[in-house]
Amino acid sequence: MYGLKRYTIHFLRFRPLQNGTKNYALAVLVLLFVGVNASGQEDHYWNQHIGAKSALVGGAVTASVRDNSAIYYNPGALGFLDRSNFSVTASMYNYRNSFIENGAGKHLNLFNETVEVVPQFISGVIKIPKLEKYTFTFAAFNTVNNNTRFAYRNKMSYELYQQYEGPEKYLGKFEYNSKIREDWTGIGVAFKSWEKASFGISSFVVIRTLNTSHSTAANVFDTNNHLHQIASATYQRDVYVFMVSNLIKLGYNYENEWFRLGVTATTPGIPLPLFSSARLGWKHEINEFDYEENTSFTDIYEEKLKPHYKYPLNIDFGGQFVFFNSTISLRYSWYAPLGDYQLVSFTDKADYLSNSSLPIKAHNAAVWYNGRTIGNIGIGLEKAYNDKLNLIVGFNTNKNAVDKYKLIEEDRWVPTISYWNLYNLSVGMEWQTRQQDNLVLGFSVAFNQRKNDLQVVNLSDPVVANGLLGYPTHTANTQILNIGFVFGYTFNFKTKVERDLLDETRKKFQ
């Protein structure tokens, strides 16, 4: 869905469309449905592309973007937008489900199914005649909107306590809920230094909300004594974070009739603690009812904490090249490492209740995150079938940024559970109607398949020494497949000059 100065391929060269209509992207509907075994995207940097066209070309628009989403992809490209406009992009429903074989134990599978409403993208471009080399813009949009829930209940007969006759009745429960949302609001400006190059800068206020809850419970009963309860264990961890940060993007864009080049640098996030807050809850209770001395209880709660979610330095490179009546768009996005860090932690003012004299372990007193070095790539191919129709194929990676295995091995409190990378394929078309509107249609597929992953929890092989839970093993198999339909439509309105010309033509024939 390329905006105000759009290009098609003709005789191996870029050329402007013959009518210079003023573009208002009023509605772009992106529907993802009929998904099978799709994953929640909790810790991915490329959660969703902005606009139907960018989704079909694998997000490879750092060099080629020519609509209002340039404020996000490359503010330098804003200099090539030559008219004021207002754009509203709306997305409807996103259907996901997730499947982890043996995720809760041997033959105990975790399954998640959600239907989400993807928020809108609202933006505008302002051109001032006396400042013709400058382009001003504003935008508000969503980059992350994830809801994930896993739950399992396992009831079985299992020998845990030798002093009781026969196997005991074991009841284990696990539930995980995660809601993550990230909204960006920003302004930008670009300076077109000459007709082929433009520099730009955009500044965003980013609000990230994270709300996760881990709950695990186990109960053991003596079946020979009217279900006399022998032991119970409860583990509960709740995290809520409302984090406000400032991010700045610097962009450069160059084009000629054969190719386009673009580069963007995004600064590490600058936290705004005055507007940020968090709360934590941690509960750990074990009871052996026939042995009171084996009972332990710890409950900690604190709110009005100051979180610090880190955003990495990001360098983004892109190019678009013409060959044989086609264009290839390339993008490589590099994210700097963050190392291990505390997202939020309890303080000495926490509401602490325990029958144990031992303090909470240091690694459980804080919520941990990290960020590893990753590089995502995007590739898009557009083939001009004729002057009206372009065929599009795209591919991109979407790697998980957090090394959870490292944190889990150190027995640290990690708020999210997703660990998988995603790989996306897309195919579709862009068609210019007789009224010079643009229609985008296509399909997208996100997929991955992993074996021998670490179980999320083990409810099939409980151990007394491990608090009535089993030790997680590397026997989980994760399958991810998401099939979606992409639809976009751009309404183009004539400029005042074109309307006046049309009125004069009509008068001549009256």
**Long-range CB contacts for residues 151-160, cutoff 8 Å, separation at least 24:** 151/175, 151/176, 152/103, 152/104, 152/108, 152/110, 152/457, 152/459, 154/104, 154/105, 154/108, 154/459, 154/460, 156/460, 157/223, 158/462, 160/220, 160/230, 160/231, 160/462, 160/464, 160/468
pLDDT at 480: 83
Say yes or no to pLDDT of 35 above 70: no
Give 465-471 contacts, CB < 8 A, sequence gap 24+: 467/218, 467/233, 467/235, 467/286, 468/160, 468/170, 468/172, 468/218, 468/220, 468/231, 468/232, 468/233, 468/286, 469/172, 469/216, 469/218, 469/233, 470/105
Per-residue pLDDT, 163 = 87
Ranking 45-59, 233-247, 276-290 by mean pLDDT, the lowest is: 45-59
431: three-class secondary structure by DSSP: strand
**Distance (Å, rounded) from C-alpha 45 to C-alpha 333?**
10
Predicted local confidence at residue 315, as pLDDT = 98
Q: How confident is residue 436, by pLDDT bands cut at 50, 70 and 90?
A: low
Instruction: Say yes or no to pLDDT of 275 above 80.
Output: yes
pLDDT confidence of residue 354: 87
Percent of the chain with pLDDT over 70: 82
Each residue of 185-244: pLDDT tens digit?
Answer: 999 999 999 999 999 999 999 999 999 999 999 999 998 877 889 999 999 999 999 999
Tell me what pLDDT residue 91 has: 54
* Residue 145: strand pairing partners: 181
- The per-residue pLDDT for range 134-144, each reduced to its tens digit, is 999 999 998 88
Look at residue 425 and tell me whether its pLDDT is greater than 70.
yes
Distance, in Å, from the CA atom of 262 to the CA atom of 61, rounded to the nearest integer, reads 9
Secondary structure (3-state) at 323: strand
Q: How far is CA 172 from CA 232, 283, 285, 405, 467, in A?
A: 10, 17, 14, 24, 11
State the DSSP code for 43.
S
Give Cβ neighbours of residue 502 (< 8 Å, ≥ 6 apart).
494
Query: At 238, which amino acid appears?
Result: D
**Could you read off the pLDDT of 467-481 as tens digits, one per residue?**
999 999 999 999 888
Q: What pLDDT sits at residue 278?
A: 97
Backbone angles phi, psi at 465, to 5 degrees: -65, -15
pLDDT score recorded for residue 144: 87
The pLDDT of residue 508 is 55
Neighbours of 398 (CB within 10 A): 25
Higher pLDDT, 359 or 186: 186
User: What pLDDT score does 21 carry?
Assistant: 36
Residue 290, SS3 per DSSP: coil
- Where helices occur in 448-495 by DSSP H, the ranges are none
> What's the residue count for the chain?
510
Mean pLDDT of 323-337: 93
Mean pLDDT along residues 10-21:
32
**Cα 166 from chain centroid (whole Å):** 49
Question: Is the per-residue pLDDT at 411 higher than 50?
Answer: yes
Distance CA 259, CA 233 (A): 63
pLDDT at 292: 65
Give the phi and the psi of residue 309 in degrees, each rounded to 5. Answer: -90, 130
What's CA 430's distance to the chain center, in Å? Answer: 25
Per the CB < 8 A criterion, the answer to whether 160 and 218 are in contact is: no
- Which of 407, 487, 488, 505 has its CA nearest to residue 443? 487
Asked if residue 399 lies in contact with residue 376, where contact means CB atoms within 8 angstroms, the answer is yes
Q: How many CB atoms lie within 10 A of CB 9?
A: 19
Question: Residue written as tokens 């790989």?
Answer: 423
Count other Cβ atoms within 10 Å, centred on residue 348: 6
| pLDDT above 50 for 267 | yes
pLDDT of residue 244: 97
Instruction: Please name each of the domains of the chain with its CATH number.
Output: 26-508 (2.40.160.60)
The predicted-structure confidence for 81-113, as pLDDT tens digits, reads as follows 888 887 776 555 566 778 999 999 999 999 987
The per-residue pLDDT of the chain, averaged, comes to: 84
| Across 326-335, 388-397, 445-454, 487-496, least confident range | 487-496
> pLDDT band for position 360 (50/70/90)?
low
Enter the pTM of the model. Answer: 0.85
Contact 474, 451 (CB under 8 A): no
Confidence (pLDDT) at 497: 52
* Cα angle for residues 229, 230, 235 (degrees, 5° grid): 90
